[in-house]
Amino acid sequence: QITLKESGPSLVKPTQTLTLTCTFSGLSLTTRGVGVGWIRQPPGKALEWLAIVYWDDSKRYSTSLESRLTITKDTSKNQVVLTMTDMGPVDTATYYCAHRDYDSHPDRAVDHWGPGSLVTVSS
């Protein structure tokens, strides 16, 4: 059974850097085709895809946020970390991590999501 859970600060100040950790079980980021990504959702607004890292350490980022984002994996801890620099009030959102396996399911995108972590940006 695949489970993911996000952790990190619930409140950050403007201009600070946000670091979020996704801890997962039931999957391995050493398995071909497996990826873990991040999606966010401002209150009452649409989902926005941020980034994904795959088993082979390939990474993809949102074009509009790429300069502020870094995604890394730690296979020994079963974790994926997302950092976002220069946080502002517009970055207030629930941040989700999610799983993808394009080798087992080549026609599917993300299928398992964490419960989400609300991050508020305020001074």
Partner 1 sequence: IQLTQSPSSLSASVGDRVTITCRASQGISSYLAWYQQKPGKAPKLLIYAASTLQSGVPSRFSGSGSGTEFTLTINSLQPDDFATYHCQQYHSYPWTFGQGTKVEI
Which spans of this chain sit near partner 1 (rule: CB under 8 A)? 39, 46-49, 60-64, 96, 105, 107-111, 113-116
CB nearer to partner 1: give 19 or 60.
60
CB nearer to partner 1: give 16 or 112.
112
CB nearer to partner 1: give 43 or 123.
43
CB nearer to partner 1: give 24 or 61.
61
Ranges of beta strands (E only) in 1-123 are 3-7, 11-12, 18-25, 34-41, 48-54, 59-61, 69-74, 79-84, 93-101, 112-113, 117-121
Q: Report, in Å, the least distance between residue 114 CB and partner 1.
A: 7
Count CA within 13 A, CB hemisphere, residue 118. Answer: 4
Q: Report, in Å, the least distance between residue 123 CB and partner 1.
A: 26
Q: Report, in Å, the least distance between residue 118 CB and partner 1.
A: 10
What are the tokens at 56? 């082979």
